Structure 1
Amino acid sequence: MFSFITFIKDLKTIRKALLLACILFVAGVIIGWIGTASLEKLLLQQLEGLSEISDTLQDSSNPMWSFFVFIFLNNSIKGVLIIFLGAMFGILPALFLLINGAVIGYLVHISAINGQDLFDLIVKGLLPHGIIEIPAIIIACAFGLHFGGRVALSLFRPSTRREERGADWSIFMRQTLTASIWIVILLFIAAIIESTITFSLLT
């Protein structure tokens, strides 16, 4: 029930939400790139907060372990929460995708403007862990969007028989549990990579 094959099969049932999640994330990246100046104040506040946390972790007795624990707990908690917070009509997963995409777009653009080496930023700083972390977050948000869509349909098109609705919701809740488990596993792997390989490449 919780196998990786089951997880992949479940993804096929939320194809539209998965496509929408990808579109929202890419839109966020574009917004972050194009609106660098207008978004600078908002995004800088977030980045300054992360910078302060990074400095604190860097000064710990075991920086790699501290980074791993922080990254894993931060991402996995958000990854699971965003699925179930999607019940509020998918609004929060949509915002989460746009904001995270905008941060990446902003960082890449501001680095290009400042003449920094984009190879180091993208290939060393983003790809090693991002190749797992970003898809995991997009999948989590896709389940959240799908959750919101199901809630909206239940409220505004309550024509399906109660027994059928109950069975459908039972299947979907099992899917969210399977997704939560595998998203945490994927983010665990990403956290290991980010706190070791990415950490070593950028320090």
Structure 2
Amino acid sequence: MTFKPLLQHFKEMKHYFIVVVLVFGVSFYLGWANSEQFSHFLKDQLEGLKSLSQSLSNKDNPQMWFFFIIFLNNAVKSVAIIFLGLPLGILPLFMLVANGMILGYVLSLQTHESTLSIVLKGILPHGIIEIPVILLACAYGLKLGMLVWKSAAQIFVPVANRTASAELKKVLTLTKPLIVIIVVLLLLAAIIESTLTYWLVHL
């Protein structure tokens, strides 16, 4: 397994990268600016996270528990969302929208004075790695979904070269090194979140 073909393929993915960044950005804005309209949905998401956080805080060595839960949660979801994109890329889009809105909603709850502190202490240290990795996984999930759609269309529409099926196989092969990169980066993010972020938040 080599990483060079994957890195080269990133150039072909630029339009998908742009799309996921735009969707995430718009979702963030919706969560920030329209928090009252989406409050019920977003509060349900946050309540689950709050309950889990409180449960882990009461355990012996909570930082170790935070590390394992954060890493497993992010790694499993990020890897799964790549392949869950096969049904036309719907679930990666949902993940982008949900994560963007939750982040925007959380920051909208803070006062202007505390927002910068929340970002610098609670999000930036690990988020600078975690968020791009999630966007990367969603981009490839969307790519697979689009290729499935194109492959299905080419079955019914006569074309000289059925390129979509060949490209789908190529991208599925590239998911092996992609998963390795995602897992390693999320491992690093989980270490930072369970140590540096944990320490900064509890100052």
- Fold conserved (TM > 0.5)? yes
Q: Does 1:126 align with 2:123?
A: yes
Match of 2:32 in 1: 33
Show structure 1 runs of 5+ residues with no match: none
Query: Does the 8 Å CA contact 2:129/2:186 hold for their aligned counterparts?
Result: yes
Aligned partners of 1:166, 1:148: CA distance in 2, in Å? 12
Aligned partners of 1:19, 1:152: CA distance in 2, in Å? 20
Q: Does 1:135 align with 2:116?
A: no
Give the TM-score taking structure 2 as reference length. Answer: 0.92
Equivalent position SS for 1:111: coil
Aligned partners of 1:16, 1:147: CA distance in 2, in Å? 14
Match of 2:93 in 1: 94
Q: What displacement does 1:116 show?
A: 5.6
Q: What displacement does 1:160 show?
A: 5.3
User: Which structure 2 residues correspond to residues 106-117 of structure 1 after superposition, within 5 A?
Assistant: 106-112=105-111, 117=114
Query: Does the 8 Å CA contact 2:151/2:165 hold for their aligned counterparts?
Result: no
Q: Give the direction of change, closer, same or farther, for the CA distance of 1:118–1:139 in structure 2 (3 Å limit).
A: same
Aligned partners of 1:126, 1:19: CA distance in 2, in Å? 22
Match of 1:200 in 2: 199
Report the residue type matching 2:119 in the other structure: I
Aligned partners of 2:43, 2:89: CA distance in 1, in Å? 26
Aligned partners of 1:109, 1:186: CA distance in 2, in Å? 28
Aligned partners of 1:10, 1:71: CA distance in 2, in Å? 29
Show structure 2 runs of 5+ residues with no match: none
Query: Does the 8 Å CA contact 2:82/2:92 hold for their aligned counterparts?
Result: yes
Q: Does 1:42 align with 2:56?
A: no
Aligned partners of 1:197, 1:2: CA distance in 2, in Å? 32
Report the residue type matching 1:99 in the other structure: A
Match of 1:2 in 2: 2
Match of 1:150 in 2: 147
Query: Does the 8 Å CA contact 1:129/1:191 hold for their aligned counterparts?
Result: yes
Number of equivalenced pairs: 199
Aligned partners of 2:184, 2:75: CA distance in 1, in Å? 9
Match of 1:69 in 2: 68
Report the residue type matching 2:16 in the other structure: A
Q: Does 1:23 align with 2:58?
A: no
Q: Give the direction of change, closer, same or farther, for the CA distance of 1:84–1:73 in structure 2 (3 Å limit).
A: same
Q: What displacement does 1:170 show?
A: 2.8
User: Which structure 2 residues correspond to residues 167-178 of structure 1 after superposition, within 5 A?
Assistant: 167-178=166-177
Equivalent position SS for 1:157: helix
Deviations along 1:128-151, whole A, 9 cap, x unmatched?
Answer: 000000000000000000011101
Q: What displacement does 1:102 show?
A: 0.3
Aligned-residue Cα RMSD (Å) equals 1.5
